């Protein structure tokens, strides 16, 4: 990986993306890829962990709206991404570093392309301040914000 290439962690819904291709083959083509049974299962702490460990962006590939196998998991993810984006913004981190795409690509051929596009957008933003996040704001506080209580 070159120095200026943004690091993107990609979560994808198994019912929408890449399910027709062997996961082992696809994971060679997609760096930092975590296929997940439902995007509704992605916790905000998971996303924050990625940023803390040095990710420049987090991409969530959800199934098309209205198609979730678990009814509305993709909508839950959409809400979460929106709220978390606002939170990141208030901390001076660009909202564009977290992105959710709805769609389906059974063979997973489009995934590298989508990551590349996001990568180009992130390159324009410059290097991320997210890796210093852990030092600035303890994750626990963020969980409290998320819980909304």
Partner 1 sequence: MWKTEAGAVAHAETAVKQCLPPCQIKCPINEDIQRTNVLISLLPDETDAAREGILQIGDYLYEKNPLFNICGYICGICELECNYNKKGGAIRRRLLKRFLSDVYTEHLKERDELEINRDKENVAVVGGGPGGLMCAYHLSKKGYRVTVIEATERLGGALWLVPDYRLPKDILQTTLENLVRIVGVDVRYNTRLGTGKLTLEKLKSEGYKAVFLGTGLPYPRVLTFEGKLVEGQDLSGVMYGHTYLYEVSHNNITGQYFKGKKVIVTGGGNVAFDVGRSARRQGADVTVVCLEREDKDHRDGIPADEEEIRGAWEEGIRIVYSRGVNEIDGQNGKFKGIHCPSCVSVFDKTGFNPKFDTTDCIDLSGDVLIITVGQAPDRPLLEKENLLDERGRIAIDHLTLQSLNKPWVFIGGDVRRVGFMIEAMGEGMEAAESIDRYLRGVDMKSGRRRDYEGYEIPVRRDYKPEPEVLWIPPENRMHFQMFETGLTLREAIDEAKRCVTCGPCVSCKACVSIGFQKSLSPVEVDVTRCSGCGHCVYVCNYYSAHLVNNDGKITSATDMFKCKSCGMCVVACPSQARKMVDDDTVERINKVCESLA
Note the residues at the interface with partner 1 (CB under 8 A): 7, 9, 14-15, 19-20, 23, 32-34, 36-38, 40-44, 46, 49-50, 52-55, 66-73, 75-76, 106-107, 143, 146-149
Find the shortest distance in angstroms from Cβ 117 to partner 1.
20
Of 101 and 105, nearer to partner 1 (C-beta) is 105
Find the shortest distance in angstroms from Cβ 39 to partner 1.
10
Find the shortest distance in angstroms from Cβ 11 to partner 1.
8
Q: CA distances (Å), 49 to each of 1, 43, 65, 66, 127, in order?
A: 20, 10, 26, 29, 17
Strand order in the sheet with 8-13: 33-36, 8-13, 57-62, 98-102
């Amino acid at each position: 990986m070159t120095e200026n290439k943004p690091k993107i962690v990609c979560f994808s819904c198994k019912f929408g993306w890449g399910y027709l291709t062997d996961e082992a083959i696809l994971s060679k083509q997609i760096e930092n890829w975590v296929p997940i049974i439902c995007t509704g299962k992605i916790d905000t702490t998971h996303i924050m962990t990625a940023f803390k460990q040095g990710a420049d962006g987090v991409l969530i590939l959800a199934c098309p709206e209205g198609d979730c196998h678990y009814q509305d998991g993709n909508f839950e993810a959409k809400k979460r991404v929106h709220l978390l984006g606002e939170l990141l913004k208030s901390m001076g981190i660009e909202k564009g570093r977290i992105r959710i795409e709805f769609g389906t690509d059974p063979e997973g051929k489009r995934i590298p392309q989508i990551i590349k596009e996001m990568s180009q957008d992130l390159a324009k933003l410059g290097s991320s301040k997210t890796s210093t996040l852990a030092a600035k704001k303890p994750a626990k506080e963020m969980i409290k914000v998320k819980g909304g209580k």
